[in-house]
């Protein structure tokens, strides 16, 4: 019953936020860097956040989630609130980075740190190294999810996939809560989007996947690479784009339209088509981790797949 309630909360709250945003003219305006052509309400991520934290608290009081994971995920309230104000007032990059650093520290502390980074042939268990690595991973996952949020249904479908994959692999109910939190919003964001999630949603989702990656890695070190494969569609595009822009001598803080999904829309692919193909790619990535027991082989196969896709996109729209 609680799961039906959560879906209804996400669905209806997104609807009311959409109408309120239209009434108050809180819309994402079209500019030369936009991937949309019509001014559209934003802030739908509030519905995701509210539903997610209601469900999370329910799981805690019914003892369906470990305490350290609960508190680590609860820290996400901070990034959601600050990102909400960022959506409204465009906070300074320095302030956003300070908040992200604080959230990363609190999240890591709640988890008890990041124990071991394994590379198969050898492990790194030096706590100073592993926790510094985890600190930057959290900040990068928060930001890259925000960078990738640009077309209809893209981020929402990615996190429905990640949540369902997590439930299928680990059978933990917090994944169902996250699925429903995003799904109610995704109804209004799919294909011809009636509302965008904004930073309040994307930064929270990025933080969540970072915490899941670290938490399950602490249970079994090779799970780190499992989550890296599952999330590779996003981090590969964001990381490679960042490196390419750096090599081009571009100012990295400046907005752009050079991510793979953006270049596909520039050559005429619809948002719907790009999102559907991303779902297909994610299914293949899931097959890698599900059917191949060696996570490092899965990781190498995912890199080959994504590099091939990037070369295809480069042939359609060169990276300049």
The answer to whether 33 and 255 have CB atoms below 8 angstroms apart is yes
Would the pLDDT of 154 be above 60? yes
d(CA 154, CA 260): 12
Q: How confident is the model at residue 151 (pLDDT cuts 50, 70, 90)?
A: confident
| Lowest mean pLDDT across 28-37, 180-189, 223-232 | 28-37
Cα separation, 261 vs 188, in Å, equals 20
Three-state SS across 237-296? HHHHHHHHHHHCCCCCCCCCCCCHHHHHHHCCCCHHHHHHHHHHHHHHHHHHHHHCCCHH
Transcribe 9-38 into DSSP letters.
HHHHHHHHHHHHHHHTT-EE---TT-S-SS
pLDDT at site 252: 77
33 pLDDT exceeds 60? no
What confidence tier does 35 reach under pLDDT thresholds 50, 70, 90?
A: low
By percentage, how much of the chain surpasses pLDDT 90? 76
Q: Write out the two tokens for 213.
A: 């990656």
How far is residue 246's CA from residue 249's CA, in Å, rounded to a whole number? Answer: 5
Pair of tokens at residue 50: 């509210």
Mean pLDDT within 83-108 = 94
Please answer whether residues 47 and 13 qualify as being in contact, where contact means their C-beta atoms are separated by less than 8 angstroms: yes
Question: Whole-number mean pLDDT of the chain?
Answer: 92
Q: What does the pLDDT read at residue 48?
A: 97
CA distance 132 to 27: 38
SS3 41: strand
Q: Give the DSSP H or E segment for 199.
A: helix 199-219
Task: State residue 193 phi and psi, 5-degree precision.
Answer: -65, 135
Residue 88 — pLDDT band, cuts 50, 70, 90? confident
Burial class of residue 320 in the structure, from the number of CB atoms within 10 Å of its CB (0-12 exposed, 13-18 middle, 19+ buried):
exposed
Under DSSP, is residue 133 helix (H, G, I), strand (E, B) or coil?
helix
Alpha-carbon distance 286 to 231, whole Å? 10
- pLDDT at position 89, please? 86
């Amino acid at each position: 019953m609680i799961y039906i309630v959560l879906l209804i909360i996400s669905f209806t709250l997104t609807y009311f936020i959409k109408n309120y945003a239209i009434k108050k003219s809180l819309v994402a305006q079209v500019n030369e860097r936009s991937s949309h052509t019509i001014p559209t309400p934003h802030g739908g991520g509030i519905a995701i956040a509210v539903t997610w934290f209601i469900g999370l608290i329910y799981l805690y009081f019914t003892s369906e989630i470990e305490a350290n994971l609960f508190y680590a995920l609860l820290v996400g309230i901070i990034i959601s609130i600050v990102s909400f104000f960022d959506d409204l007032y465009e906070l300074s990059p320095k302030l956003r980075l300070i908040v992200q650093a604080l959230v990363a520290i609190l999240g890591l502390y709640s988890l008890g740190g990041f124990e071991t980074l394994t590379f198969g042939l050898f492990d790194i268990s030096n706590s100073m190294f592993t926790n510094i690595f985890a600190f930057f991973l959290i900040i990068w996952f928060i930001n890259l999810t925000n960078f990738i949020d640009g077309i209809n249904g893209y981020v929402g479908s990615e996190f429905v996939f990640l949540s369902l994959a997590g439930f299928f692999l680990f059978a933990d109910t917090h994944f169902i809560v996250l699925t429903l939190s995003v799904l109610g919003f995704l109804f209004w964001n799919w294909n011809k989007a009636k509302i965008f999630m904004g930073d309040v949603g994307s930064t929270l989702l990025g933080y969540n996947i970072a915490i899941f990656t670290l938490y399950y890695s602490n249970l079994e070190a090779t799970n780190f690479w499992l989550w890296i494969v599952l999330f590779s569609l996003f981090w590969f595009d964001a990381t490679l784009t960042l490196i390419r822009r750096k090599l081009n001598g571009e100012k990295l803080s400046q907005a752009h339209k050079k991510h793979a999904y953006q270049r596909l829309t520039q050559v005429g692919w619809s948002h719907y088509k790009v999102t559907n193909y991303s779902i297909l790619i994610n299914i293949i990535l899931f097959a890698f981790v599900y059917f191949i027991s060696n996570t490092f082989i899965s990781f190498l196969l995912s890199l080959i797949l994504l590099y091939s896709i990037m070369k295809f996109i480069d042939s359609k729209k060169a990276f300049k």
